[in-house]
């Protein structure tokens, strides 16, 4: 792409300022910037204004019942046998979403590479591989594991896992694919520059994973291999049960085309997205969308009506996902501190949030599905996310939960 073509592309999105410093750049920098403009999909920027608006008023949000522990307990053997059978017939693959930046944790590498051990190394990735291998040992076979990375961590993740020999998991079952990045923008919707020759690029959220799989040719591979189900999960929950046969068996038993692992809320105001019915469809309602009345609403058994928080562990039927590949995803804006150029062309380190990252979220896929089974799991056994440096959902709190589950640190 030459300068004229780049300028024309930027003009279509009202972003000519990206080339403001072009004339003063060296030849290599000029080429790098033009290459970046050429390969970057700017179409998400068109949704910026609309994404600043709240969700449309008048949506009907109602409670959605979950399959609770008692029912799961009563059917555990049957569900597990059904799930194991599907795994043995190679109908399930796992998808590890590891493209995030982990800004809250404040590490400059993928969270998976973080060592949380005390007396010996124990990497976050290692916890996940161990959990997966408990299932594959039970099933007596392995299953494909797809790992989503992003430009900021792709090589580091590949190198790390290769060096660690995939913690004993067969290398031929592990396949990587990269998610897209998107430029961060100012409150006016203008692309922020990381330097005079580069836009500030950030991973575009965890919602585009299936599209990224399609772009990498993996969806075609799934079809050829007859893989019918995908279990997508977060990198940072070290107690994550992956390819849980009981969960898969329950979703199959109910004939749903998706499932979401959920935990009972600790208290009504807990800041988790909860399962609901939105305009008649299974969906996730964010905590800030719940009115005070909804927060306290009770069902017939006296439990909170909106009681089940999602933990980013989902099952999706592949053919149901295929139907939505061409859809425009819902855009979410994450307000962040973005180190970027000021009008003099100097990099500033902002003290307050000065920009937005544009993201899509996996939870929006739930609403696209015809049906979703919320499947209750025990918080202390399956939910130890590592999000923050200290306090709630930190390495410290995750260590306590690992110990509680008999893991030696
Ligand atoms: P979070 O929303 O917690 O984001 O991701 P994060 O990047 O890990 O952390 P912060 O918000 O910057 O502190 C939940 C899951 O989604 C993945 C993460 O790797 C994690 O497994 N994710 C997030 C992606 O794969 N890509 C993204 O662009 C964002």
For residues 370-374, average pLDDT: 96
The helix/strand/coil state of 122 is coil
Q: Over 80: is that where the pLDDT of 55 sits?
A: no
pLDDT of residue 347: 94
Taking the C-alpha atoms of residue 386 and residue 200, their distance in angstroms, rounded to an integer, is 26
Any atom of ligand 1 within 6 Å of the Cβ of 203: yes
Q: Is the dihedral of CA 390, 122, 95, 106 positive or negative?
A: positive
Range of lowest pLDDT (53-62, 142-151, 365-374): 53-62
* Side-chain half-sphere CA neighbours of 279 within 13 A: 8
Any atom of ligand 1 within 6 Å of the Cβ of 179: yes
* CA-derived radius of gyration, the chain: 22
pLDDT of residue 204: 92
Residue 355 CA, ligand 1 centroid: distance in Å: 18
Taking the C-alpha atoms of residue 186 and residue 348, their distance in angstroms, rounded to an integer, is 13
> Which residue has a Cα nearest atom 14 of ligand 1?
234
Query: Which DSSP category does 331 fall into?
Result: P
Residue 55 CA, ligand 1 centroid: distance in Å: 22
pLDDT of residue 132: 98
Whether 37 contacts 18, CB under 8 Å: yes
CB atoms within 10 A of CB 12: 10
Taking the C-alpha atoms of residue 57 and residue 55, their distance in angstroms, rounded to an integer, is 6
The token duo for 202 is: 């950030």
145-201 pLDDT, tens digit each: 999 999 999 999 999 999 999 999 999 999 999 999 999 999 999 999 999 999 999
Whether 125 contacts 97, CB under 8 Å: no
Q: Which domains does the chain show, CATH number per domain?
A: 1-39 (no CATH), 69-260+311-364+387-404 (3.90.550.10)
CA angle 204, 44, 56 (to 5 degrees): 100
Whether 337 contacts 350, CB under 8 Å: yes
Any atom of ligand 1 within 6 Å of the Cβ of 283: no
Any atom of ligand 1 within 6 Å of the Cβ of 235: yes
The token duo for 49 is: 């204004």
> Considering only CA atoms, which of 363, 90, 312 is closest in space to residue 208?
363
Q: Over 90: is that where the pLDDT of 287 sits?
A: no
The helix/strand/coil state of 97 is strand
Rounded alpha-carbon distances, angstroms, from residue 20 to 13, 321, 357, 403: 15, 41, 21, 54
pLDDT band of residue 84 (cuts 50, 70, 90) is very high
Q: What percent of the chain has pLDDT over 70?
A: 100
Atom of ligand 1 nearest to the CA of 334: 11
Give the position of tokens 């799989």: 213
Any atom of ligand 1 within 6 Å of the Cβ of 236: yes
Any atom of ligand 1 within 6 Å of the Cβ of 240: no
Any atom of ligand 1 within 6 Å of the Cβ of 98: yes
pLDDT of residue 322: 95
Q: Over 80: is that where the pLDDT of 4 sits?
A: yes
232-241 pLDDT, tens digit each: 999 999 999 9
Rounded to a whole number, what is the distance in angstroms from the first to the last CA of the chain? 52
> Which residue has a Cα nearest atom 17 of ligand 1?
100
In the predicted model, what is the mean pLDDT of the chain? 95
Range of lowest pLDDT (184-198, 283-297, 379-393): 283-297
Whether 273 contacts 309, CB under 8 Å: yes
pLDDT band of residue 207 (cuts 50, 70, 90) is very high
- Residues across the chain: 409
> Which residue has a Cα nearest atom 3 of ligand 1?
387
208-231 pLDDT, tens digit each: 999 999 999 999 999 999 999 999
Whether 202 contacts 182, CB under 8 Å: yes
Burial class (CB in 10 A: 0-12, 13-18, 19+), 289: middle
pLDDT of residue 327: 87
pLDDT of residue 106: 87
Residues 6+ apart with CB under 8 A from 306: 63, 265, 274, 276, 285, 290, 294, 295, 297
For residues 77-103, average pLDDT: 96
Q: Over 80: is that where the pLDDT of 90 sits?
A: yes
* Side-chain half-sphere CA neighbours of 314 within 13 A: 30
Report the predicted TM-score, pTM, of the whole model to 2 decimal places. Answer: 0.94
């Amino acid at each position: 792409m030459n300068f004229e073509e780049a300028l024309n592309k930027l003009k279509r999105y009202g972003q000519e300022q990206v080339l403001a410093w072009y004339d003063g750049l060296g030849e290599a920098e000029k080429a790098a910037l033009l290459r970046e403009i050429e390969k970057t999909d700017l179409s998400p920027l068109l949704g910026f204004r609309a994404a600043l608006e709240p969700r449309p008023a008048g949506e009907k949000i109602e409670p959605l019942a979950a399959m609770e522990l008692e029912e799961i307990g009563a059917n555990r053997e049957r569900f597990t046998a059904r799930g194991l059978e599907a795994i043995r017939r190679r109908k399930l693959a796992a998808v590890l979403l590891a493209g995030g930046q982990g800004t809250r944790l404040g590490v400059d590498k993928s969270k998976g590479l973080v060592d949380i051990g005390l007396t010996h190394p124990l990497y976050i990735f290692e916890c996940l591989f161990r959990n997966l291998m408990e299932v594959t040992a039970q099933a007596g076979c392995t299953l494909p594991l797809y790992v989503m990375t992003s430009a900021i961590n792709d090589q580091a993740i590949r190198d790390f896992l290769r060096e660690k020999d995939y913690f004993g998991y067969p290398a031929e079952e592990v396949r990587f694919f990269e998610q897209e990045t998107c430029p961060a923008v100012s409150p006016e919707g203008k692309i922020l520059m990381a330097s005079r020759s580069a836009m500030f690029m950030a991973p575009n959220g965890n919602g585009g994973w299936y599209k990224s799989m399609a772009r990498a040719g993996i969806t075609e591979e799934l079809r050829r291999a007859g893989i019918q189900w995908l279990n997508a999960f977060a990198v940072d929950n070290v107690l994550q049960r992956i390819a849980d046969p009981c969960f898969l068996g329950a979703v199959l038993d109910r004939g749903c085309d998706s499932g979401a692992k959920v935990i009972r809320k600790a208290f009504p105001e807990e800041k988790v997205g909860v399962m609901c019915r939105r305009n008649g469809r299974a969906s996730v309602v964010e905590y800030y969308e719940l009115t005070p009345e909804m927060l306290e609403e009770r069902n017939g058994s006296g439990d909170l009506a909106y009681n089940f928080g999602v933990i980013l562990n989902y099952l999706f039927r592949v053919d149901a996902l295929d139907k939505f590949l061409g859809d425009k995803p819902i855009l979410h804006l994450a307000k962040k501190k973005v180190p970027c150029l000021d009008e003099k062309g100097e990099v500033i380190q902002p003290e307050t949030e000065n920009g937005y990252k544009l993201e899509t979220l996996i939870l929006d896929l739930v609403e696209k599905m015809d049906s979703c089974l919320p499947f209750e799991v025990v918080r202390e056994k399956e939910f130890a996310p590592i999000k923050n440096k200290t306090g709630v959902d930190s390495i410290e709190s995750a260590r306590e939960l690992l110990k509680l589950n008999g893991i030696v640190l």
